[in-house]
Every structure is written in C-alpha cells, then in structure tokens.
Amino acid sequence: MDKIQIGTVGLGLMGCSIVTCILVAGHPVTALTNNIQQKEESVKRIEACLLQLKEEGILKETPAAILQRLHVTDDYHSFNNHTIVIESIIESVDEKKKVYRQLETVLATDAIIGSNTSAIPVTLLQAGLQHPERMFGIHWAEPAHITRFMEVICGDKSDITLAEKVVSLAESWGKEPSLLRKDIRGFITNRIMYAMLREAFYLVENGYATIEDVDRSLRNDLGYWITFAGPFRFMDLTGIPAYLAVMKELFPELSNDAAIPATIEKLVEEGAKGVANAKGFYSYTEATARQWEELFTDFSFDIRKLAGKYPQNIGDQ
C-alpha cells in the first residue's frame, strides 16, 4: 500500500531529523522552510542523517533513492490534500500560531496538525484554531531518526480518536509513543527532567557536589537502568516499601525553588550554548566539542540496539 504524504514545517535541527525518520519509514515528505535559500543546506543535513543510518546498516534503500521522496518548499499550497502536517519551528507561541493559521487555509478540516513543542501547553496552541480538535503535540527527541521516544499530547479540545491514529502512525515509524490524554505543561519527560535539573543545580550551587560529581553519579546509577525500566518498573524490580520510607523523609527536603538557577543564567549571559559553540558547563575546544557530539550519536545508536534486545511487553494483557 502506498504510504501517505506527510507534511513538515521548519528545517532546523529537529525538523531535519524528523524528516529523515519519516522518509526512512517510506513516506513521501513535503517540508516547508521559511528560508528557501538554505534548501540545499537542509537537504545536506538530511542526507548526513541518512548516511549515519546507512553506516549503521539500518537503511534498506540508498540515501539518494530516499531523497527522491523529499520535496522542500516555502509555499503552503504544497500541503493541499495532506492529511497530517508536523510543525517543528522555533519555540514561540506567536510564531507557531502564525503557522497554524496558514495551514488552516490550505488543509482539509479533518487534517491533523502536530507540534513538536517542548513545553508549550497544547491547549494554548490550539486556542483560536477553526478546528482545534485536530491539533496535538507530537513531541520527538533529538536525534529523531534514531530515538524511539515520542509523546502524543491532547489539548483540552483535541479528539482522542485522532490522537490514537497519530500513535499508530508513529509506531509504523519505529517509535514507541506515549499518549497524554490531558494537557500539562512540560508533558511527561520534561516535567521529570526539569525536576531533576532543579535538584542538580541545588546540589551544585549549595556546595554539596561538583558538576562532575553530579554527572558521574547520575550516569552510573540512573544511567544504568532507566532505558530498561522506567521509574515504576524500577520500583517493582527493587522493592516498593523502601521507596515509601524514603519519600516520607526526603520529599520535604527536595528543592522546590521557583527561581532560575544563577549558574545557568550567568552562562547564557556569557554566550554559552554548549557543544554547539564549545562553551558550556565544561570547557571545550572546537575539536573536543565535535568529539562529544560524535560520541553522543554513536551512543544513541548503541543504546537503541541494546534497548531493542529487551522486550517491554512481558505479561501485557
């Protein structure tokens, strides 16, 4: 059966890896950019993602054959007859809403609009749409052509039956999606990750541990089990009562500070972006920053292979 044509908006870091994932799953893709002069650069980025997958032995086709299915455009009319379009532009409510208004002028009333927002409530994004019930968060993790993560998020007005369709479609792309039936800022992973980040800053800024010590502990503890288990399965595996006992003592002492940590504010003021500009919590040269990026890509492939060896459906009804 022919795969449906999928639309995307935005060809930045995530837009390119999202397009790669969908192309590899066999769909033709219409990718809209606001910077058509950079079309070649974006196609090169997608090609680079495809080459990574080829090197890992994951591709059935050649990158050149896959790229034949890609159409890059800056014209919203190219989305005529598309049944799903996924937006992945900058994290700005106003900019994203402008995109949805344009999409509604060309899409059928039941075509799905998805947003790769990291943390904007979907209810906020769907407010003012002519057909808000077809709007969802479709939250990917970078690099989207490698990771299995996806959260499909309903806003207050979303139609859950359409959300279930998105979940099935994403499963056919090799994703393992979670469905959020009710909207909440930050969704699942970002809520939990930011709670962890707040505590990490608390420990460092109050002199309990260094940045290196926090990273080392987390990598060697949580890092060893979280891909396999998730927090609830982990409590089952390691004995539930101990967690209850610790919660009683520890919850009142965890950081609950709403203020932004001074350390990150200062770094950003000084222009730090992380390995992207070789300036971050750690010191880098251009060369070591590139090395860290490459290692992270290699690790993402390895962890994907490792996770694939361990079924997660034992005992499912």
Q: Which of residues 136-195 bind ligand NAD (CB under 6 A)?
A: 140, 142
Task: For ligand NAD, give the closer residue by CB, 185 or 216.
Answer: 185
Q: How far apart are CA 32 and CA 47, in angstroms?
A: 17
| One of 6, 8, 9, 112 touching ligand NAD (CB under 6 A) | 9
Which one of the spans 87-95, 160-168, 211-219, 239-247 is the region binding ligand NAD (CB under 6 A)? 87-95
Q: How far apart are CA 237 and CA 229, in angstroms?
A: 9
Task: For ligand NAD, give the closer residue by CB, 234 or 301.
Answer: 301
Task: For ligand NAD, give the closer residue by CB, 11 or 129.
Answer: 11
Residue nearest ligand NAD, CB atom distance: 12
Q: How far apart are CA 4 and CA 84, in angstroms?
A: 9
Considering the complex, what minimum distance in angstroms separates the CB of residue 116 from ligand NAD? 4
Q: What is the 3-state secondary structure (H, E, C) of 44-102?
A: HHHHHHHHHHHHCCCCCCCHHHHHCCEEEECCHHHHCCCCEEEECCCCCHHHHHHHHHH
Burial 14-44 (b: 16+ CB within 10 A, else e): bbbbbbbbbbbbebebbbbbeeeeeeeebbe
Task: For ligand NAD, give the closer residue by CB, 47 or 205.
Answer: 47
Site membership for ligand NAD, residue 215 (CB under 6 A):
no
Beta strands 149-154 and 135-140 are antiparallel
Considering the complex, what minimum distance in angstroms separates the CB of residue 242 from ligand NAD? 34
User: Residue 70: which residues within 8 A CB-CB, separation 6 or more?
Assistant: 19, 23, 28, 29, 31, 43, 46
Task: For ligand NAD, give the closer residue by CB, 89 or 146.
Answer: 89
Q: Which of residues 115-144 bind ligand NAD (CB under 6 A)?
A: 116-118, 140, 142
Token pair of 67 as six digits = 């790229």
Which one of the spans 44-52, 88-96, 277-285, 296-304 is the region binding ligand NAD (CB under 6 A)? 88-96
Q: Which residues are near ligand NAD by CB under 6 A?
A: 9-15, 33-35, 88-91, 95, 99, 116-118, 140, 142
